[in-house]
Every structure is written in structure tokens, then in C-alpha cells.
């Protein structure tokens, strides 16, 4: 067997955050096709279970016990599948709540992973993006909980009286977390506006703390390596 044949698999194992980030971004492209059909709902749940599994894999080496993530992930996926099979508001509410807790837990563990040392690895750079998407998913599920408890919490330019779809709430979450403010989804109740404000603050804090920290550590490493790479001065008279 060629020694390089297993190399792609080893690269994936060494960079779980990269795999998680790529899969979640693929989900952003997939979700618009799963909103309006029964089969799409099942595809959505299967893909969601994949994301949950990858999130557990990404944080398996962090200090917190993995069994916590497994319990949350399995329970959330099981309730989602049950709700897809037999729609029930209570199942949807509890499932969304468990999903939110799981994604916040996974994001917190990736943050701890990035803060654990002063060396910036390639996987930590991917973890910056993966953590951002985990937070976006978590707040989207919080919005789902708010909308379930208070129907009509969010309106939009199209069908303003309808309940917002998952893709619309995820879009709202991304725009608030990134502070772009381009969403046409508007919170109109005090609770929904409070959650939006908390997410906006979380997005600013995340960029200020983690992104700037990794950039600073990367520049410091490059500056520390520069003198070692520079040629030694030649003594005069040689």
C-alpha cells in the first residue's frame, strides 16, 4: 500500500474543525431546498444529525466530557425525527431548545480549544469559522424557540403574517452575528428584540476577542521567526 494513500484521511482527522466548517457551509446551500417538501424535511434532519456528529468529533479532545454532547445530540436528533414523522409543537419546541444548548456547548468548547495555548495551528484557524457557524446555528434555534412560544415574533417583507422558516431564521442569525444588518426579517416583540440584541453583542465580542487574538498571535509568531531566518552579520575586516 502506498504510504501516501491514507494521507487525505489523516489530514481530515487532524483538522476536524475544517470538516465541520465545510459541512455547515454546504448546509447553508442545501437548506433552501428542504423547506417545502416532506422528503426535504427528512434530508434536513439527516444532515442535521451529521452536523451534530461532526460537532461532537471536533470537540472530543476538550476538557469537558464527551458524553454530555452525545446525550444532547442524540436527544435533539431523535426529537427532530419524531417531529418530522408526526409534527407536534411541543416536540418541535423541546428539540429546538436542545439543539440550541448543544450548539452553544460545542461553540464554547471550540472557544476553549482556541484559548488553550499561545500557538496558532491550522485547525485553530478553521475553528474560528466553525465556531462562528455554530453560534449562528445556536441563535437560529433560539429564534425558533421564541417563535414557537410567541407566534408572530418575526415578520418579513414577504408573507409578513406567516411563521418564519428555518432558512429565514438562520439568515437572520447570520446577519446579526456578522453585524451586517442586511436581513429583511424583523423582530417585533420585546423578547425577540432582546435575543437579537444579545446576538449582536455576542458577534461583536467574538470578532474582537477571538479573531483579533489569532491575528495577533500569528503576527507575533512571524516576527519571532524573522530574526532567526535573517543572515548573521559579517564582522568587519573579514
The per-residue pLDDT for range 174-205, each reduced to its tens digit, is: 999 988 876 789 999 999 999 999 999 999 88
d(CA 57, CA 201): 28
Phi, psi of 60 (to 5 degrees): -65, -25
The pLDDT of residue 3: 46
Taking the CA atoms of residue 219, residue 15, residue 64 and residue 139 in that order, the dihedral angle to the nearest 10 degrees is 80
**Per-residue CA distances from 109 to 58, 87, 115, 160, 217 (Å):** 9, 32, 10, 37, 20
The pLDDT of residue 104: 92
Closest listed residue to residue 99, CA positions, set 157, 55, 162: 55
Contact 45, 38 (CB under 8 A): no
With a CB cutoff of 8 Å and minimum separation 6, the contacts of 188 are 152, 153, 154, 155
Closest listed residue to residue 140, CA positions, set 183, 110, 108, 91: 183
| Sign of the CA dihedral running 225, 226, 231, 237 | negative
Task: List, in sequence order, every beta strand (DSSP E) within 115-172.
Answer: 154-155
The pLDDT of residue 2: 45
First to last CA, the chain: 54
Contact 109, 57 (CB under 8 A): no
Q: What is the CA angle 149-42-88, rounded to 5?
A: 30
Task: Give, as one character, the DSSP assignment of residue 87.
Answer: -
The residue whose grid cell reads 434555534 is 141
Q: What is the CA angle 178-170-156, rounded to 5?
A: 100
From first to last of its 238 residues, the chain has per-residue pLDDT tens of 444 455 665 656 667 788 888 888 888 888 888 766 666 777 777 777 778 777 777 766 666 667 777 788 788 878 887 877 788 888 889 989 998 998 898 888 888 877 776 777 777 788 888 889 999 999 999 999 999 999 999 999 888 888 998 889 999 999 999 888 767 899 999 999 999 999 999 998 888 887 777 777 777 777 776 665 555 555 565 5
d(CA 223, CA 225): 5
d(CA 98, CA 93): 9
* CATH 2.102.10.10, domain 12-225, yes or no: no
Amino acid at each position: 500500500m502506498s504510504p501516501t494513500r491514507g494521507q487525505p484521511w489523516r489530514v481530515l482527522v487532524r483538522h476536524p474543525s475544517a470538516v465541520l466548517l465545510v459541512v455547515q457551509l454546504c448546509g447553508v446551500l442545501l437548506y433552501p431546498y428542504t423547506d417545502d417538501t416532506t422528503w426535504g424535511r427528512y434530508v434536513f434532519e439527516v444532515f442535521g444529525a451529521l452536523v451534530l456528529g461532526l460537532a461532537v468529533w471536533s470537540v472530543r479532545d476538550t476538557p469537558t466530557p464527551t458524553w454530555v454532547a452525545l446525550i444532547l445530540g442524540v436527544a435533539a436528533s431523535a426529537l427532530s425525527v419524531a417531529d418530522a414523522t408526526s409534527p407536534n409543537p411541543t416536540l418541535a419546541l423541546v428539540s429546538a431548545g436542545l439543539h440550541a444548548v448543544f450548539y452553544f456547548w460545542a461553540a464554547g468548547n471550540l472557544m476553549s480549544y482556541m484559548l488553550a495555548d499561545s500557538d496558532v495551528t491550522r485547525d485553530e484557524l478553521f475553528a474560528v469559522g466553525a465556531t462562528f457557524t455554530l453560534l449562528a446555528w445556536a441563535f437560529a434555534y433560539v429564534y425558533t424557540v421564541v417563535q414557537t412560544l410567541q407566534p408572530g415574533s418575526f415578520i418579513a417583507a414577504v408573507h409578513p403574517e406567516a411563521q418564519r422558516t428555518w432558512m429565514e431564521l438562520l439568515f437572520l442569525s447570520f446577519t446579526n452575528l456578522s453585524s451586517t444588518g442586511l436581513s429583511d426579517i424583523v423582530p417585533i416583540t420585546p423578547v425577540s428584540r432582546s435575543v437579537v440584541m444579545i446576538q449582536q453583542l455576542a458577534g461583536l465580542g467574538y470578532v474582537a476577542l477571538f479573531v483579533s487574538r489569532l491575528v495577533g498571535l500569528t503576527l507575533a509568531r512571524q516576527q519571532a521567526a524573522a530574526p532567526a531566518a535573517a543572515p548573521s552579520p559579517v564582522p568587519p575586516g573579514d
